[in-house]
Chain A
Amino acid sequence: MHCDHCHENEAAVHLIMEGVDGQKRAVHLCLACALKAGDGGDVPLPPGQLAEVLKQFGDKVGGPLAEALKEVTPEPPPEPPVAAVCPECGTSDAEFRRRQQLGCPTCYQVFAEEIRQLLPSLHRKGIRHIGRGAAPPATPDRRDQRLRLQRLRQQLATAVAAEAYERASELRDEIQRLEREETP
Chain B
Amino acid sequence: MSGTDLRLLAARPFPWLAEVAMPGGIAVSSRVRLARNLADTSFPNRASARDLDRVTAQVCAAVKAGSSPLREVSPIRLADLSPVERLVLLERRLISADLDAKPAGRAVLFTADESASLMLNEEDHLRLQVLLPGLRVTEALDQARQIDLDLLARLAPAYRDDLGFLTCCPTNLGTALRASVMLHVPGLVLTGRITEASRALTRLGFAVRGAFGEGEETVAHFIQVSNQSTLGETEEGIVADLEHYVRTMVWAEENARKFLVRQQRDLLYDHLGRAYAIVRFAHYLTTKEALDCISALRLGVELGLFSTLTHDTIQTLCRELQPGHLQMALGAQPDSGDRDRLRATRARASVL
Contact = CB atoms under 8 A, between A and B. Distances in A.
Interface string A9-40: 00000000000000000000000000000000
A128 B46 CA distance: 26
Contact of A101 (B161, B169, B235): B169
A4 B326 CA distance: 93
Interface stretch (A41-49, A59-67, A88-96): A88-96
A102 interface: yes
Nearest to B155: A134
A180 B153 CA distance: 23
B284 to A, nearest CB: 41
A82 interface: no
B174 A123 contact: yes
B288 to A, nearest CB: 31
Q: Which of A118, A126, A127, A134 has the most CB of B within 10 A?
A: A134
B164 interface: yes
B233 A130 contact: yes
A108 interface: yes
A161 interface: yes
If over half of B's interface residues share one DSSP class (helix, strand or loop), that class is named, otherwise mixed; here it is loop
A175 B168 CA distance: 28
A50 to B, nearest CB: 44
Q: Which of A100, A129, A160 has the most CB of B within 10 A?
A: A129
A126 B162 contact: no
B234 A89 contact: no
Interface in A125-170: 125-134, 136-137, 153-154, 156-157, 160-161, 163
A161 B153 contact: no
Given A102-B43, A104-B41, A105-B39, A161 B240 contact: yes
A124 interface: yes
28 contacts: A100-B169, A104-B46, A105-B39, A105-B158, A108-B160, A118-B170, A122-B170, A123-B231, A123-B232, A124-B205, A124-B228, A125-B205, A128-B231, A129-B160, A129-B161, A129-B163, A129-B164, A129-B174, A129-B175, A131-B234, A132-B234, A132-B235, A133-B159, A134-B157, A136-B153, A153-B234, A157-B138, A160-B244
